[in-house]
């Protein structure tokens, strides 16, 4: 039953895939905590350089609380007003928000300055005029030679004119603007990096899925290709009046298909398992050519556990029999060998040789196949290993043909 698409359906689909508004809150909290932790460390270090660290720390506590709250509000504004995910929109909101946050923080510090505790720290220095200037809290004491000291009490910000308060607040806001702008830059850079990594992971996943699909499709080509050739062989036995051999071939064919079709199309098998599958197939062909087909397999035990794509040798072995036996009436040897010419490299050779080529120009042409053969093997190796694998083929001196495939050697261990 088909359900018509409506605006409600579309809205639901869009909402389902929409990124949550505050999905990156953990990352935001980490950056906020990191920035204000650095500020706190510098404040503590400065406080303990003086003689009254307690007062300084208490006075800076308001700045810390108000600053953290404003930074959280800045994050909420960025996340709330840029739900489309546009980095440019986020940057604009971050810039405007940083200006507003710095103004609010500076204004708060100016308005609460009268409630701060007076520090007991004392600063003493020698003026160029020879006076000794001593500053303690909001009082400045000037000691002069042969004269009474002059004590000056500095006015609080609340005692200044509104214009002067505004100027001081503006100077303070400029300082804090760089702080909020720096946090915004770090946060936006983190968001951009997270988005880039997410896109990279999704692209890698899509590429991997496409590769798996390609490998699966190429692997599925092997079964009908093999079945086509085997049915040709079975048909030949029936037409030549050899029912016993045909029955034996059917039994071996069922065994082969039980073994090969149970394999995962994208899975790897050991070289020993692959060779065993080829033995089953060659036993089927030896039923058809009991006197003309000789099989030699030379695989060192040390390479038995090396992994390779399942049935990667099948089309090559089929072609070796198909074209090797169709061109002669003599005995033909099919040889499969494997070696590790270099550490981490596997080389497998399938060759057929022996027999004298038929001289009659009217010899029957070999039966038409599905045209899979070497092309399938090359494409599967390319999809699986890229340029790290390859296929070489060509005639052998003295008659015959050889196909060699190379690929990375990966062991079970």
One-character DSSP codes across 26-79 = HHHHHHHHHHHHHHHHHHHHHHTTSS-HHHHHHHHHHHHHHHHHHHHHHHHHHH
Return the pLDDT at 4. 43
Structural element, H or E, at residue 408? strand 401-408
Name which of 329, 239, 241 is nearest 293 in CA terms. Answer: 329
Name which of 257, 305, 282 is nearest 352 in CA terms. Answer: 282
- Rounded distance between C-alpha atoms, residue 348 and residue 391, angstroms: 10
User: What six digits make up the tokens of 272?
Assistant: 């020993």
User: What six digits make up the tokens of 56?
Assistant: 């300084």
Q: What is the CATH number of domain 242-411?
A: 3.30.565.10
Return the pLDDT at 342. 92
Return the pLDDT at 367. 41
Q: How far is CA 85 from CA 97, 192, 234, in A?
A: 17, 10, 64
Q: Where in the chain is the domain with CATH 3.30.565.10?
A: 242-411
Return the pLDDT at 360. 47
- 273 SS3 class: helix
Residue 222 DSSP symbol = H
- Rounded distance between C-alpha atoms, residue 69 and residue 155, angstroms: 30
Q: Tens of pLDDT along the chain (413 residues)? A: 344 444 444 343 443 345 577 888 899 999 999 999 999 999 999 889 888 888 889 989 999 999 999 999 999 999 888 766 688 889 999 999 999 999 999 999 888 887 888 877 887 878 877 788 888 777 788 887 777 788 887 777 777 888 888 888 899 999 999 999 999 999 999 988 988 888 888 777 766 666 666 655 555 555 566 677 677 778 877 888 888 888 888 888 788 777 776 766 667 889 999 999 889 888 888 887 888 899 999 999 999 999 998 888 988 888 888 888 877 788 899 999 999 999 999 999 999 987 665 554 444 444 444 446 788 888 888 888 888 999 999 998 878 899 999 999 988 64
One-character DSSP codes across 105-163 = HHHHHHHTGGGSPPP--EEEEE-TTS-EEEEETTEEEEEETTEEEEEEEPPPGGGS-HH
Q: Is the dihedral of CA 128, 134, 139, 143 positive or negative?
A: negative
Task: Read off the pTM.
Answer: 0.53
- Rounded distance between C-alpha atoms, residue 299 and residue 268, angstroms: 18
Return the pLDDT at 288. 76
- 402 SS3 class: strand
Name which of 291, 381, 359 is nearest 330 in CA terms. Answer: 291
Return the pLDDT at 33. 94
Return the pLDDT at 6. 43
Beta strand residue intervals within 165-272, DSSP E: 268-270
- 82 SS3 class: coil
């Amino acid at each position: 039953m088909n359900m018509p698409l409506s605006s409600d359906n579309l809205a639901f689909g869009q909402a389902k895939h929409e990124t949550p508004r505050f999905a990156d809150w953990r990352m935001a909290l980490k950056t906020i905590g990191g920035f204000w932790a650095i500020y706190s460390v510098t404040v503590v270090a400065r406080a303990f350089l003086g003689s009254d660290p307690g007062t300084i720390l208490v006075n800076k506590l308001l700045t810390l609380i108000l600053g953290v709250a404003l930074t959280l509000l800045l994050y909420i504004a960025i996340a709330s007003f840029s739900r489309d995910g546009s980095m440019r929109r986020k940057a604009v909101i971050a810039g405007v928000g940083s200006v507003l946050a710095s103004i609010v923080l500076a204004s708060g510090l100016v308005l609460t300055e009268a409630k701060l505790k007076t520090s007991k720290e004392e600063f003493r220095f020698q003026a160029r005029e020879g006076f000794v200037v001593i500053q303690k809290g909001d009082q400045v004491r000037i000691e002069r030679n042969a004269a009474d000291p002059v004590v000056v009490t500095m006015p609080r910000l609340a005692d200044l004119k509104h214009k002067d308060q505004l100027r001081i607040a503006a100077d303070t806001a400029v300082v804090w603007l760089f702080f909020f702008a720096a946090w915004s830059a770090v946060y936006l850079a983190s968001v951009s990096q997270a988005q880039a990594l997410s896109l990279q992971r999704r692209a890698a996943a899509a590429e991997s899925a496409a590769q798996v699909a390609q490998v699966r499709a190429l692997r599925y080509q092997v079964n009908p290709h093999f079945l086509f050739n085997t049915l040709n062989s079975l048909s030949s036995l029936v037409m030549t009046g050899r029912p016993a051999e045909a029955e034996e071939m059917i039994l071996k064919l069922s065994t082969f298909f039980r073994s090969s079709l149970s394999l995962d199309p994208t899975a790897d098998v050991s070289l020993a398992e692959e060779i065993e599958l080829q033995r089953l197939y060659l036993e089927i062909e030896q039923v058809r050519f009991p006197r003309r087909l000789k099989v030699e397999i030379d695989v060192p035990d040390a390479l038995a556990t090396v992994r390779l794509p399942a049935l990667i040798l099948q089309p090559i072995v089929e072609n070796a029999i198909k074209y090797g036996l169709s061109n002669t009436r003599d005995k033909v040897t099919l040889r499969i060998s494997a070696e590790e010419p270099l550490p981490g490299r596997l080389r497998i050779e399938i060759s057929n040789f022996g027999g004298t080529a038929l001289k009659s120009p009217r010899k029957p042409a070999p039966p038409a196949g599905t045209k899979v053969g070497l092309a399938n093997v090359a494409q599967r190796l390319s999809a699986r290993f890229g340029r790290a694998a390859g296929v070489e083929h060509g005639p052998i001196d003295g008659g015959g043909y050889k196909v060699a495939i190379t690929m990375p050697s990966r062991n079970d261990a």
